Structure 1
Amino acid sequence: MKRSDIPYLDDLRAFESVARLGSVRAAAAELVLTHGAVSRRVAKLSTDLGVRLLEANGRGVRVTADGEKLAAATGTAFGLITETLAKIRSDGAPAPIILSCERSLAMRWLIPRLSDFQDRHPGVEVHLSTGGGALDFARDRVTLAIRRLDFPVDPDWRITKLMPERVGPVMLPSLAARFEAGDYTALGSRTRPNAWEAWLEQHRNTARPRTIRLLDHHFLMEEAALGGLGVALAPQAIAASDVASGRLRAPFGFEDDGTDYGLIHPAAMSVSAGLAALCDWLAAESGRIFGTTACPSS
């Protein structure tokens, strides 16, 4: 086969994503491209091959019979490439551990502590990335993830419960009287827009706020509370250091919201000594706040 007989890899990857995800929009999000760029790549591939790969299906698209054959082949090929690259990396120097953590937890809890792990294990290289919810370990090149377990999990994952999610209102000490009088702004996160209403329903003797203001992330909400803009309904892991230092008060303490954070990695993945050390360290650090010991879960 001549090199000219093989379509461009970018075009094949765009088509494989559309076929696998069933949507041009979803493929664009996965590949970090525009909807138009993905459509143009698939159209170019179809023209180069001289066959129709997709056809209209209502407002969406569906894969043709020829497209199904190509999708199966490209899926197998990309999977083989991924597995081969992983083996090459594992046979060489120890690969860095890619630790994915939810953004606010990373900024307020993990990053301030991570130097302690590096001091204890200087030979273990840890790279930090941020993300939330479900993930594809192979595609995202992630070794270990910390996630709040509030979404359907893959049965092929190994999950170790790390710490419970506990929340409570935190504020500057100077705002305590206004909080008791109901003269305060309730600060929440858009990632949990109903959290304040749920908390107030459980604490009916607490004065309601003048208004509820939502910020994009918990770490922004925490900074707003530190700036005196209101009372934040904060997870304990995010607010613990500021409460311990006296910068913020938590008059009601922190209460379980029924979810947990977990350490997640593929069950089939070989656990290196470095990864085991990182998991043990993370469990010990969470135990300092919550008085818990991480335990296996499925």
Structure 2
Amino acid sequence: MQYRTLGKSGEKVSAIGLGCMGMAFAYGQRDDQESQATLELALDLGINFWDTADMYGQGYNEEQLSKVLATRRKDVFLATKFGFRYKEDGSTYFDGSPDYLRKACDASLKRLGVDVIDLYYSHRVDDKVPIEETVGAMAELVKAGKVRYLGLSEASANSLRKASAVHPITALQSEYSLFVRDIEKEILPTARELGIGIVPYSPLGRGALTNTLRDISSLDPTDFRRNLPRFQQEAFEQNLRIVTALEKVAGDKGCTLAQLALAWLLAQGEDIVPIPGTKRRKYLQENAGAVDVQLSNDDLQSINSLMGGYQISGERYSEGGMKLVNR
């Protein structure tokens, strides 16, 4: 495994991190035994940057990680997130208030079984609470020794500037992949100006950039992708044309499509640390192998040229979900 420095923290994290959401939430049935084995293999492979959130399985994912952290805490750079709350009907709303985040942090520490969280993110930006108030309360957690570094997720350039004026922001976690590149225009340059590391989530397009998903009818009935615009039949079939074209590029490079997609992200800058999510060892090993894929400038130009010939079909979230991003 290769390692990169996360933002201005000085911390060395694996160039490929591990998104743990799918172990407990959103992607069909759980397999706790395989998830446990995947976490243990991650450490054997040198993948030390783990990402979770308190909403994943309503805290269950943090509890899953605690079983490994109990004996391997020093080997993990641990990130979790707060802010999404559940209503009685199962729907969610976002709460970035100081009172709530203090309680959320204590609850996460307890579920994770740790004394300190390495990187604590606000899962979104609350449009009803000034970002300065949210980050100010997060900074108090740093002073209290409960959190080491602060992060934001899906924040706009303006929010990054306001937040950074209150306390250093170590990382911005936003969706970024060959399919989703909207942060490149303003957010990415601002983050770089401020010394904020970039942590792309869904770097494999929620499985679309792996070529393992060719038929959405094969998805588990509980899989949240069934409700996403990009995974509706017409949009999905259009995007498969892009996947097929990229698959040929990957074949020419002697790697899988997933490895190509991750290598492309890694090549966008040393400040980028993608966190592909998986709950299976075989995909974890495949993802880890992306660090060995070297893309030349000609390769990158070829991929960008190829992508320029297509239009990505379908939004990445529902209309309500889209209102929560880049704000």
- When normalised by structure 1's length, the TM-score is 0.30
- When normalised by structure 2's length, the TM-score is 0.28
